[in-house]
Amino acid sequence: MSYVDEVLKTVREKNASEPEFLQAVTEVMESLRAVVDANEDKYRKYGILERLVEPERIISFRVPWVDDQGNVRVNRGYRVEFNSAIGPYKGGLRFHPSVNQGILKFLGFEQVFKNSLTGLPIGGGKGGSDFDPKGKSDREVMAFCQSFMTELYRHIGADTDVPAGDIGVGAREIGFLFGQYKRITGLYEGVLTGKGLTYGGSLVRTEATGYGLVYILDEMLSHIGESLKGRRVVISGSGNVAIYACQKAQQLGAKVVTMSDSNGYIVDENGIDLDVVREIKEIKRGRIKEYIDRVPGASYHEGSRLVWSVACDIALPCATQNELDLESAKLLVQNGCTAVAEGANMPSTLEASAYFLEKGINYMPAKAANAGGVAVSALEMSQNSERLSWSFDEVDRMLKDIMKEIYRMTSEAAEKYGHKGNFVVGANIAGFEKVAEAMIAQGIC
Ligand code: NDP
Ligand code: 2IT
């Protein structure tokens, strides 16, 4: 049995109750076959694959808080510290009722390779809670965040583990978390990224994931002589990533016709009015269906998955894992879609992703496509360390360069191992090689 198959078999046996984690590991391992087969003795000798699939540490804890009616509520908090071979653990916190250990392990595992691709010194981690911020008052969210940090603080630090936002964790939550960390430890340090601009945040971090997604998409298109100009784009989600992907795509001349949330999607044939979306989502924390009350001619449809039935040239899934299945992939291709770039983490099922590759779709997978967010987080860490802040244009230029470099590394790795144009294989191999070398250099740990 090959080394890859041996490790896959063990991972499946040991993690049978964690389907998302198994999905992420399967995709990476299948991609690594070529490079592992060519260097099997070396990687086996150092147990690289066995070590890569086991988090260095998982912390799980009780988060008690009091709601506005005076009831005691209890949620479960986690931090998965996956791999610190190339830097301190780095990755977001997700607050969503669907959060469990398996989902955070998949996200932490993906983060290891993504962070490596940025070229910056950051290891991989992820955390969060099954707390649902939706419908909670600001005071309830603050009470939850303070309780969450009252345990988390002892595991994190500017040089050990630096969390940030993800689904359900934005500027408001990061502020409450930072305040509590500072209060308990007495340290004013870059322990979190995505901070507000008045207390150590970086310009462009808010926009970074969406902008980075469109920068790498633009780079991919330019290599086949195409651009975003005049192209019809379908975006899912209406959160941080979706909003700034929409903004940059529009700036580059595309027409974005949809956005969604977990209930349904809107279609605006005149092109999404992003000011309206931002007011609904960022200011009112409302639902996407409110868009049709504000914009004549727009329509709302129940059922978020059907967003993929809207005809487009380019699809940008920016909501959540497995939101795009094989049936959706077929619909997209049938209706003329020729490019897909993933803003969300693992939005395509294994079958959907295989279908895009089989059909020759220009397909940029999440690890490469959404790495702009964590890349600017790493730039925020640099600014905090030197106690300076860089201009919007400076950070934006660095983000653009990083995304171009990720495209180059990804396409070169794919070509080198005989999979030209397969950016799934390319991103996994390019991310893996640096982490594996660092692990070998540091001995068995
Ligand atoms: P937000 O919380 O800002 O927005 C999430 C969006 O996705 C909302 O529109 C939400 O709708 C929708 N959504 C969430 N869960 C589901 C679901 N189960 N089914 C359908 N829609 C859903 O999160 P972000 O924009 O930050 O994150 C979106 C994706 O991008 C995630 O996969 C995240 O891991 C990934 N990502 C985020 C980065 C960042 O910097 N923020 C960086 C890299 C990746 P609703 O309001 O109905 O829940
Ligand atoms: O999935 C991700 O890369 C993020 N949620 C951002 C992580 C970060 O540390 O900025």
3-state SS string over 354-406?
HHHHHCCCEEECHHHHCHHHHHHHHHHHHHHHHCCCCCHHHHHHHHHHHHHHH
**pLDDT given at position 296:** 97
**Ligand 2 nearest-atom number relative to CA 194:** 10
Boundary residue ending a domain (364, 395, 423): 364
> Is 117 in the same domain as 261?
no
Just list the catalytic residues.
Answer: 126
**pLDDT given at position 107:** 99
Boundary residue ending a domain (155, 189, 223): 189
| pLDDT, tens only, 162-190 | 999 999 999 999 999 999 999 999 999 99
Distance separating alpha carbons of residues 269 and 255, to the nearest angstrom? 9
Sequence letter at residue 244: Y
**pLDDT given at position 267:** 98
Ligand 2 site, residue 381, Cβ cutoff 6 A: no
**pLDDT given at position 216:** 99
3-state secondary structure of 170: coil
213 is a domain residue: yes
Query: How are beta strands 123-129 and 161-164 bridged, if at all?
Result: unpaired
> Is 169 in the same domain as 221?
no
Residue carrying structure tokens 């497995």: 322
> Is 246 in the same domain as 311?
yes
CATH value at residue 337: 3.40.50.720
Write down the mean pLDDT value for the chain: 98
Q: Measure the CA angle with vertex 54, ends 49 and 59; round to 5°.
A: 160
> Is 33 in the same domain as 169?
yes
| pLDDT, tens only, 298-330 | 999 999 999 999 999 999 999 999 999 999 999
**pLDDT given at position 299:** 98
Ligand 2 site, residue 166, Cβ cutoff 6 A: yes
Type and span of the H or E element at 234: strand 232-235
The interaxial angle of helices 423-441 and 19-38, nearest 10 deg, is 80
Whose Cα sits closest to atom 41 in ligand 1? 166
Ligand 2 site, residue 104, Cβ cutoff 6 A: no
| pLDDT, tens only, 339-355 | 999 999 999 999 999 99
Distance (Å) from CA 438 to ligand 1 centroid: 32
As a whole number, mean pLDDT of residues 282-301 equals 97
Ligand 1 site, residue 318, Cβ cutoff 6 A: yes
**Ligand in closest contact with the CA of 89:** 2
Of the residues 23, 95, 166, 274, which should be mutated to test ligand 1's pocket, given the most ligand atoms within 8 Å of the CB?
A: 166
**pLDDT given at position 298:** 98
What pTM does this model have?
Answer: 0.98
> Is 86 in the same domain as 178?
yes
Distance separating alpha carbons of residues 194 and 278, to the nearest angstrom? 18
**Domain total for the chain?**
2
Ligand 2 site, residue 190, Cβ cutoff 6 A: no
Structural domain harbouring 114: 3-189
**pLDDT given at position 217:** 99
As a whole number, mean pLDDT of residues 372-396 equals 98
Q: Which two tokens stand for residue 436?
A: 């594996």
